Chain A
Amino acid sequence: MEKRTLRDLRPGERAVVSALSGEPLSRRRLADMGITPGTPVFLRKTAPFGDPIEIGLRGYELTLRKSEAEHILLDETEKGMKSWPCGSR
C-alpha cells in the first residue's frame, strides 16, 4: 500500500507527520514552520476552490497547497497516533 500523505487527509481528520520528502529547500521551509517528524497535524479545511488546504499544528493555522502537502508523509500506526493529545489543537 502506498504511504498516506497530508494530501489524502479529509477535513477534520488528524494524523502525525512521519517524514518529509521533496526538495531540500522546501523541506527546510516546512520544518521551519514547525512541520517536523512526530508533529501532530489536523486538516481543518480545503479552500472554496478546492486548493490550498488549511491545517492546524502546534497551536496555529497554516495553509499550503496540495502539491506541497503530498510531500508530508504521515504515520498512522498506533504508536504514531498516541502522540496526538500533546497540547496542540
Chain B
Amino acid sequence: MALRIALIGNPNCGKTTLFNELTGSSQSVGNWPGVTVEKKVGCLKKNSGTEIIDLPGVYSLSPYTMEETVTRDYLIGERPDAVIDILDGTNLERNLYLTLQVMELGLPLVLAVNMMDEVKSRGDTLDCRTLGELLGVPAAPIVARKGEGLPELVTLAEGLARGRLRNSIHLCYDDNAERALNRILCVLADAHLPEKYPLPFCASKLLEGDDSVAEAIGLGTGKRKEIAAIRADYGRKSGPGGRETMMADARYRLIGRIVGEVVTRRRDPQEPTLSDRIDRIATGKWTAVPLFLLVMLGTFAGTFGGPGRALGKLVESGVSFLGLLLTLALNDAGAPVWVRTLFLDAVLGGVGGVLSFLPQVSLLFLFLSILEDSGYMARAAFITDRLLRRIGLTGRSFIPMLMGFGCTTPAIMAAKGMGSERERRLTILLTPFMSCSARLPIYGLFAGIFFTKHQGLVILSMYLTGMLAAVLCGLLLKGTVCRGESSAFVMELPPYRLPAPANLALHVWEKCRGFLVKAGTVIFAMSVAAWFLQNFGPPLHMVEDPAESFFGIFGRWIAPVFAPLGFGNWQSSAALLTGLAAKETVVSTLYIVFGDEGIAAAFTPVSAFSFMLFCLLYMPCMSAFVTVKKELGSWWAACRNALFQTTVAWLVAFAFYQTASMIGHIFGEGSSGRDVALAAFILAAFALIALALSVLYKSLRNFIGGDRPEGCAGCPMQHRCKQKNKP
C-alpha cells in the first residue's frame, strides 16, 4: 500500500511551499468530506508510491474552527503513516505549541524547521539536533523555497513511515501539570477508550476542558466529574491564569525552556528588521491608507489596463485566426449549414470569446497571490477592519471580498475562517457583489460598443457600484436582520516575505486550469445548448426565425419582467438565463442570438448600462450558488441569498433606467451617454447621502444614548463600563 505522509503546520510557515516542492505539479485539489476546507493531495516527486496530504494551516488542535476539526479528525481517524510538522524557524515559540499537541497523538513525527536562511541572516542560530534530542523527534533544517534539506527530510519521513525509525517522545511539563495529567491518565486507565484515541492526547485535552474529546471517547458522567475535580485542583495550584489557559500556560512554559536551549539570538531584539521597517510604512498612521489605495489601484490597473488588454487582444486574434481556418476547412468539406453554425457560432463564438479573457483572469490571480504570499493581505485586513465592522463584517472579510474580484466561488469558500456565524453569512451574501472576472467580458462587450471613449470609466463604475451596493446592503442588514455582536478578531500578521515565483506560478496555473476546464465543459455545453435552443423550436425542428425558437418563446415569456429596466427583448432574457451557468456565457449567448451587429441595434447606451448593472448584481453563477449552499448548509438559505441579490439587481437597474429615461425626456434627444453619466451621478449621490445619513444617525443615537439594545452588546459605553459581564 502507498505510504501516506501528512503535512501539518501553522499558517504562514511555508507549508504550501514545501508541499509544492515535494509534489511538483502532481497534486489534486478537492475538499474534505462534508466541509469546504480545501484538501490537497499529491505524490512525492521521485517516488510516486508516497502520497503527501496537505492539512489546513492551524495554530492548535482545539476543535473551534473548521480547519482545526478537519486536521484533528484526519490525524486521529486516518492515522497517516508519518507526519511532517513544519515550523517557522524565525518563530519557533508559537510554532512549537502545535508540535507539542501533535506529539501527544503518538504518530510517527518528523519536524521540518523551515526558513533556516532567514534565521541565519538575522544572525541567530537554531540547533536542530538539540531540538530533536530534547523532544525525542528528529528535526531537519530546511529552506523550503530553495529546496534545501528536502532529501534528508523525505528520507527521515519515509524511514518513520516504514517503521525503520522510531520517535522516543518525552514531554515533560512542570510538576503540577504532570501530576494532573497523571491523575487523569489513572481515571482513563479503565475507561475502555476507542483504540484510535491516544491516551496522552486525551489526557491533555481533557485537562484543557475540551468537551468534544470527552464526547468522542464516550466518557461517563462519573469519570467526567472526577476529571472536573482534577481540573479544579490544578487550577488552584497553577496561578492566576484560569482553567482555560492553564494547559496552554504549561505548554508555553515547556516551550520557553526548549527555545532557551535551542535558539541563540545575536541581534538586539529591539533592533527593527527589514520587515519592521516595511511595516512602519505599510501600516503607518498616515502612509497606510494612501499605500493601500495605491496597491488596489495598481492591481486593477495591471489587470484591466494595458498589459491585461494587450494579452487579451493577442488571444483574441489567435481565436479569430483559428476561426478563419475552421471556416475554410468546413467550406472545403462541404459541411451542411447547421454544422457550420454549430462550430463557428457556438463553439468558436462562445468558447473562443470567453478564452480571450484568460490573460486578465490569470493576471488578477497573480496579483492576488502576490498580495497573499507577501503578507500584505493580512495588513489589508488590519487596516480595513474598522471600516468593515461598520457594515457588519470584519477585517477578515476583506480577503474573501478581494478574492471575489477574481472568482466568487473560491471567495465564498474563503469566508469560512470568519469567527462569528453572522459575519460569515453576511460575507457570503455580500461577496458576490464584488464584480468577478467572469463579468468583465460583459462590461467589455457593451463598453466597447456604446462607450468607446470612456471604456475604462464605465468598467470602473461597475466595480464601484458593486462595492457601494455591498456597503449599503451591509448597513441595511446590520441594522435589521443581522444584528448582533462582532466576533473576535485575533489574527497573526506574518513578516513580509518575497513570494516564491514557483509558488505563484503553480497557484496561477491552478486557477487558469480551472478556468480552461470551465471553458471546455460548462461554457462549451452552455454554448451548444444556447445554440440549439436558439436554432430549434417546437416541435423539435430547425427554425429560420430565432424568435420562433425555444429561446424566443421562453425569453418572451420572462422578458416583461425586464421591460422596466430597458431590455425587455427576449434575447437579453435568454442571455441572462444562460449566464446562470457562468456569467461569461451572457456574452457568448448575446453573440449567438444577435450576431455581431445586432447588439448595437438592440440596446441604447442607457439600456446597455442598465443591463450591465443587472449583470453585475444578479445572483452569481451555478458553481457559486452550489458553493453557497454547501457553506450555508441548506438550499433554502442559498435560494434566499440568490433572491436577495437578484432583487437588489432589479431595483438598482430599475432606478437607473427610469432616472436616465427621465433625463432623456427632459433633454428630448433620445438616449445618449450623457443621460447615463447624469443618472449614474445622481444615483451615486443619493447612495452616498444615504450612507452619510446612516452614519450620522448612528453617531447621534450613540450620543443621545437612547434605544440601547439589551445587555452589553452594542452598548457604546461598553469599554468603560464597570458592571460588564455582571447579570
How would residues 54 to 89 of chain A score, 1 for a CB under 8 Å from any chain B CB and 0 otherwise?
Answer: 100011111111111010000000000000011111
Q: Which of B242, B269, B288, B387 contacts A87 (CB 8 A)?
A: B269
Q: Which of B97, B259, B385 contacts A52 (CB 8 A)?
A: B385
Q: How far is the CA of A47 from the CA of B292 in the complex (A)?
A: 13
A67 with B718: CB separation less than 8 A: yes
CB-CB under 8 A from B386, the residues of chain A are: 47, 49-52
Q: How far is the CA of A21 from the CA of B494 in the complex (A)?
A: 26
Residue of A nearest to B208 (CB): A28
A34 with B97: CB separation less than 8 A: yes
How would residues 379 to 421 of chain B score, 1 for a CB under 8 Å from any chain A CB and 0 otherwise?
Answer: 0011101110000000100000000000000000000000000
B252 with A54: CB separation less than 8 A: no
Q: Which of A29, A45, A52, A60 contacts B64 (CB 8 A)?
A: A29
Q: Which of B86-94, B188-196, B349-357, B520-528 touches A?
A: B86-94
Given known contacts A26-B488, A59-B90, A49 and B383 CB-to-CB distance under 8 angstroms: yes
Q: Which of A22, A38, A61, A65 contacts B489 (CB 8 A)?
A: A65
Size of B's binding interface in residues, CB under 8 A: 57
Residue of A nearest to B275 (CB): A61
B719 proximal to A (CB < 8 A): yes
* Minimal beta-carbon separation of A84 from chain B (angstroms): 10
CB-CB under 8 A from B209, the residues of chain A are: 24
Residue of B nearest to A28 (CB): B244
A68 with B64: CB separation less than 8 A: no
* CB neighbors of A among B432-453 (8 A): none
Given known contacts A36-B252, A52-B386, A68 and B492 CB-to-CB distance under 8 angstroms: no
B288 with A48: CB separation less than 8 A: yes
B91 with A33: CB separation less than 8 A: no
CB-CB under 8 A from B492, the residues of chain A are: 33, 60-63
Residue of A nearest to B718 (CB): A67
A58 with B94: CB separation less than 8 A: yes
B493 with A59: CB separation less than 8 A: no
CB-CB under 8 A from B249, the residues of chain A are: 31, 36-38
* CB neighbors of B among A3-29 (8 A): 7, 18-22, 24-29
Given known contacts A49-B387, A65-B385, A33 and B488 CB-to-CB distance under 8 angstroms: no
Q: Which of B90, B242, B383, B495 contacts A19 (CB 8 A)?
A: B242
A59 with B91: CB separation less than 8 A: yes
Given known contacts A7-B719, A49-B383, A86-B256, A62 and B62 CB-to-CB distance under 8 angstroms: no
* Minimal beta-carbon separation of A26 from chain B (angstroms): 5
Residue of B nearest to A39 (CB): B252
* Minimal beta-carbon separation of A80 from chain B (angstroms): 11
B493 with A63: CB separation less than 8 A: yes
CB-CB under 8 A from A47, the residues of chain B are: 283, 288, 382-383, 385-386
A54 with B382: CB separation less than 8 A: yes
Q: How far is the CA of A21 from the CA of B719 in the complex (A)?
A: 13
CB-CB under 8 A from B489, the residues of chain A are: 52, 63-65, 68
A31 with B64: CB separation less than 8 A: no
* Minimal beta-carbon separation of A40 from chain B (angstroms): 10
B33 proximal to A (CB < 8 A): no
* Minimal beta-carbon separation of B620 from chain A (angstroms): 30
B490 with A29: CB separation less than 8 A: yes
How would residues 704 to 727 of chain B score, 1 for a CB under 8 Å from any chain A CB and 0 otherwise?
Answer: 000000000000001100100100
B285 proximal to A (CB < 8 A): yes
* Minimal beta-carbon separation of A81 from chain B (angstroms): 15
Q: Which of B62, B263, B719, B722 contacts A70 (CB 8 A)?
A: B719
Main secondary structure of the interface of B (DSSP, over half): mixed
Q: How far is the CA of A71 from the CA of B242 in the complex (A)?
A: 13
CB-CB under 8 A from B725, the residues of chain A are: 21-22
Interface centre among B91, B239, B381, B488 (most CB of A within 10 A): B488
Residue of A nearest to B68 (CB): A32
CB-CB under 8 A from A54, the residues of chain B are: 283, 382, 493
A28 with B245: CB separation less than 8 A: yes
Given known contacts A63-B382, A64-B489, A52 and B395 CB-to-CB distance under 8 angstroms: yes
CB-CB under 8 A from A65, the residues of chain B are: 385, 486, 488-489
Q: How far is the CA of A52 from the CA of B398 in the complex (A)?
A: 14
* Minimal beta-carbon separation of A67 from chain B (angstroms): 7
A61 with B285: CB separation less than 8 A: no
Q: How far is the CA of A65 from the CA of B395 in the complex (A)?
A: 10
* CB neighbors of A among B128-149 (8 A): none
Q: How far is the CA of A29 from the CA of B265 in the complex (A)?
A: 28
A48 with B289: CB separation less than 8 A: yes
B240 with A18: CB separation less than 8 A: yes
B383 with A48: CB separation less than 8 A: yes
Q: Which of B260, B279, B283 contacts A48 (CB 8 A)?
A: B283
Q: How far is the CA of A51 from the CA of B384 in the complex (A)?
A: 9
* Minimal beta-carbon separation of A17 from chain B (angstroms): 9
Q: How far is the CA of A24 from the CA of B270 in the complex (A)?
A: 33
B94 with A89: CB separation less than 8 A: no
Q: How far is the CA of A2 from the CA of B722 in the complex (A)?
A: 10
B543 proximal to A (CB < 8 A): no
Residue of A nearest to B290 (CB): A48
Q: How far is the CA of A59 from the CA of B239 in the complex (A)?
A: 24
CB-CB under 8 A from A19, the residues of chain B are: 240-242
B248 proximal to A (CB < 8 A): yes
A34 with B241: CB separation less than 8 A: no
* Minimal beta-carbon separation of A44 from chain B (angstroms): 8
B93 with A34: CB separation less than 8 A: yes
* CB neighbors of A among B200-241 (8 A): 208-209, 239-241
A33 with B94: CB separation less than 8 A: yes
Q: How far is the CA of A19 from the CA of B246 in the complex (A)?
A: 11
* Minimal beta-carbon separation of B393 from chain A (angstroms): 13
* Minimal beta-carbon separation of B266 from chain A (angstroms): 12
* Minimal beta-carbon separation of B450 from chain A (angstroms): 39
CB-CB under 8 A from B263, the residues of chain A are: 87
Given known contacts A67-B718, A89-B269, A28 and B62 CB-to-CB distance under 8 angstroms: yes
Residue of B nearest to A62 (CB): B492
* CB neighbors of A among B479-511 (8 A): 486, 488-495
Q: How far is the CA of A10 from the CA of B300 in the complex (A)?
A: 37
B463 proximal to A (CB < 8 A): no
* Minimal beta-carbon separation of A5 from chain B (angstroms): 9
* CB neighbors of A among B283-301 (8 A): 283-286, 288-289
Residue of B nearest to A26 (CB): B488
CB-CB under 8 A from A18, the residues of chain B are: 240
Q: Which of B248, B279, B383 contacts A31 (CB 8 A)?
A: B248
* Minimal beta-carbon separation of A63 from chain B (angstroms): 5
B60 proximal to A (CB < 8 A): yes
Given known contacts A49-B386, A52-B386, A64 and B240 CB-to-CB distance under 8 angstroms: no
CB-CB under 8 A from B490, the residues of chain A are: 29-30, 33, 62-64, 68
A37 with B488: CB separation less than 8 A: no
B208 with A58: CB separation less than 8 A: no
Q: Which 8 A-B pairs have the closest CB atoms?
A: A31-B248, A49-B386, A31-B245, A32-B60, A61-B493, A48-B288, A58-B93, A36-B249
Given contacts A60-B91, A68-B488, 9 further A-B contacts (CB under 8 A): A21-B725, A24-B244, A29-B488, A39-B252, A47-B288, A60-B492, A63-B395, A87-B260, A89-B270
A and B contact pairs by CB, cutoff 8 A, 20 listed = A20-B241, A27-B244, A27-B245, A28-B244, A29-B62, A33-B94, A34-B94, A36-B245, A36-B248, A39-B252, A45-B283, A47-B288, A49-B385, A51-B385, A58-B93, A61-B279, A63-B493, A65-B486, A85-B269, A88-B93
